[in-house]
Amino acid sequence: MSTVLLLIHVMIALALVGVILLQRSEGGALGIGGGGGFMTGRSAGNALTKTTAILAASFFASSLALSILAGQHGATPSILGPAGGAGGLAPLQAPSGPAPVAPPATPAAPQAPQSK
């Protein structure tokens, strides 16, 4: 189910990019813009605007659906390895035994007498 929805999401994204690039440029941006073409006039602008709005809404809806599906699958396996197992990072835990005791300080070496 999520694979099909992901494929639809990618197709919507590509269609959205294409429709946006077909729109008339307002000032030197990336649009085809300029002179006459196969879609000119006011009706073409309205059609492209409506198509962009529909594709944007469907892109938003498919993004939301994909995030909901991803949240329902539960925890995903970590790329670092199994938690707490060999090869993975161990979870942070408090030490189970008594705290280690620091070794006793070594006495300072005797100093040689100073001559006068």
**Distance between alpha carbon 20 and the CA centroid of its chain, in Å?**
24
Query: Cα separation of 9 and 107, whole Å?
Result: 73
Write the Ramachandran bin of 57: left for phi over 0, alpha for psi from -120 to 50, otherwise beta.
alpha
Share of the chain above pLDDT 70, in %: 59
Task: Give me the pLDDT at residue 59, please.
Answer: 96
pLDDT digits (tens, 9 = 90+) for 23-64: 876 655 454 555 555 555 556 668 888 999 999 999 999 999
pTM above 0.85, yes or no: no
73's enclosing H/E stretch is: none
Instruction: Give Dmax (Cα) for the chain.
Output: 109
Lowest mean pLDDT among 4-8, 20-24, 34-38, 76-80: 34-38
